[in-house]
Structure 1
Amino acid sequence: MNGDDLLNIGAFAAATGLTIPALRHYDEIGLLKPAQVDPGTGYRRYGQDQLDDARLICGLRAVGVPIDEVRAVVGRSPGQVRSALDVHRERLVAQVREVSQRIAAVDEFIEKGTPMPTLQTIRPVQIRIRVADVQAAAGFYTTAFDVVFNESISSLQFGTYRTDRFFLITLEEHDGAASRHEGTRFGLLVDDVDTAHARAVNAGGVEVHPPTDFAWKPRTSCVRDPDGNDIDLSQA
C-alpha cells in the first residue's frame, strides 16, 4: 500500500465519525487495527479501504450494539449485519417493555404515597409451562401479549417485583424426542379480549374458541400456543 494513500488518525476520525480515543481503543482490542503504525512515534495511519468498516462500526455502536456483536459482523455480508440489527432491536424492545413496567410501578408508588407497598396476602405468583424451545416460545408471548422476557430466569414477567401486578410464567424446555406431554392450561386477564385474541393468533397461536360472552363470567376466549398450552383470555 502506498503510504501517500494512508490517512492519519485525525483525518480518519473525521471521515468515519469515530473519535480518536475510540479508534485507539478499537486498535487495542483488535476490532479495527490501523494499516500502519510508525515504530518510532506510534502514530496510527489508516487505509482508504478501511473506511467502510469504520463507518459500520460507528453506526452500530451509535445504536448500542455490543462490541462482541459488532466484531462478529465487521467485514461480513449485509444480510449478517441486518440479522445482528434484528437481534439488537428485539433486545431494545424488551428493554422498553421492562422500563414501561417500571414506570407504571413508580406511578403506582407515587399515587399510593409509599415507596414500597407491603403485600398483605398470600397469592400465586408463578406457573411453569413446558415448551420445545424457550427462545421461540418467548418470542410468541412477547409478540402476543407485550410482556417482558427475563432471560436470566427463563420467565415471562408481568408487572414489577413486589407489586400486586407481579407474576411469572416460567418456560421449561423439554426434550422433543420424549413422549408428548399434556399442555398446561392457564388464564390471563386482558384489557380487550378481542384485540388480545387476534394478536395471539397472528403471533402463531391457534384458536380454541373465539371471544364469547357468557351470562356467568366475563367475555372470554381461548388460544393454544405453539407448544400446545391453552391460554384462556378474560375481559378485565
Structure 2
Amino acid sequence: MNGDDLLNIGAFAAATGLTIPALRHYDEIGLLKPARVDAGTGYRRYRRGQLDDARLICGLRAVGVPIDEVRAVVGQAAGQVRSTLDGHRERLVAQVRELSQRILAVDEFIEKGSPMPALQAARPVQIRIKVGDVQEAAAFYTAAFDVVFNEAISSLQFGTYRSDRFFLITLEERDGPASETCGTRFGLLVEDVDAVHHRAVSAGAVEVGPPTDFSWKPRTSCVRDRDGNFIDLSQG
C-alpha cells in the first residue's frame, strides 16, 4: 500500500470529527482499526476509504448509540443503520417518559415534604393482564397513554416507586389466542378523556363506548386493546 494514500491520525481526526483519543480507543477495542501502524513509532495511519465508516461512528456516538450497536452496523446497509436509530429513538423516548415521572415525584416531594407519605391503609399497586406479544402490547400502551415500560419487570409503570402515583400493569404473554370474554377490565383516570380516547384508538384500540357525560360519575369512555383487555377512561 502506498503511504502517500494514507492519512495520519491528526488529518483523519480532522476529516471525520472524531478526536485523536477516540480514534486510539476505537483501535484498542477493535471498532475502527487503522490501515497501518508503524512498528517503530506506533503512529497510526488510515485509508481514505475508512472516512465514511469513521463519520458514521462519529454521528452515532454523538447521539448516544451504545458502542456494541455501533459496531453491529459499521459497514452495513443504510437500512440497518436506520433500524438501529429507530430503536435508539424509542429508548430515548422511554427515558424521557421516565424522567417526566421523576420530575412529578420531585414536585410532589417539594410540595408535601416527604417522598413517601404514610399509608393509612393498604392500596393496590399492580394488576396483571394477558397479551399476545409483550413488546407489541408495550408499544401500544406507551403510544396510547404515554407511560413508561419497564422491560426488566415487563410492566407499564405509572409514577415512581414510593410515590402516591406508583402503579404497575404487568404484561404477561398468554398461551392461546385472544377472545372478547377472556380479557381483563381496568380503569385509568386521565386529564382529558376525549384526547386520550382518540389517541388510544389511533394507536390501535377498538372503541367500545365513546366519551360520555353522566350525572352520577365523571365523563367516561371505554376502549379495548388488541389483546381483548377493556380500558375504562375517566375524567380526572
TM-score (norm 2): 0.96
1:142 aligns with 2:136: no
Which residue pairs with 1:90 in the alignment? 90
Give, in whole Å, the separation in 2 of the partners of 1:115 and 1:228.
36
Local SS of the residue matching 2:214: coil
Distance in structure 2 (CA, Å) of the matches to 1:34 and 1:174: 51
For residue 149 of structure 1, give the secondary structure of its aligned residue in structure 2. strand
2:18 alignment counterpart:
18
Q: Post-superposition shift, 1:114?
A: 2.8
Moved segments of 4+, more than 4 Å: none
Unaligned runs of 5+ in 2: none
- Cα deviation for residue 117 of structure 1 reads 2.9
Following TM superposition, by how much is the alpha carbon of 1:121 offset from its aligned partner in structure 2, in angstroms? 2.2
Q: Does the CA-based 8 Å contact 2:224-2:231 persist in structure 1?
A: yes
Task: Give the match for residue 106 of structure 1.
Answer: 106
- 1:122 is matched with 122
Q: Distance in 1 between matches of 2:90 and 2:228?
A: 24
* TM-score under structure 1 length normalisation: 0.96
- CA 1:222–1:102: 2 relative to 1, 3 Å: same
CA distance in structure 2 between the partners assigned to 1:167 and 1:195 by the alignment: 22
Q: Distance in 2 between matches of 1:180 and 1:230?
A: 12
Q: Which residue of 1 aligns with 2:132?
A: 132
Counterpart residue identity of residue 63, structure 2: V
Matches of 1:18 and 1:227 in 2, distance apart?
A: 47
CA distance in 1, matches of 2:41, 2:85: 38
* 1:228 counterpart SS class: coil
- The 3-state SS of whatever aligns with 1:208 is strand
**1:60 alignment counterpart:** 60
Deviations 1:63-117 (A, max 9, x none): 0000111111111111111111111001001001101110111111111123443
Aligned to 2:235: 235
1: CA distance, partners of 2:14 / 2:119:
57
Measure, in 1, the Cα distance between the counterparts of 2:133 and 2:178: 14
- The corresponding residue for 2:160 is 160
Q: Which amino acid aligns with 1:157?
A: Q
User: How many Å apart are 1:25 and its aligned residue?
Assistant: 1.0
Distance 1:117 1:193 in 2: 28
Q: Distance in 1 between matches of 2:115 and 2:121?
A: 19
Root-mean-square deviation (Å): 1.2
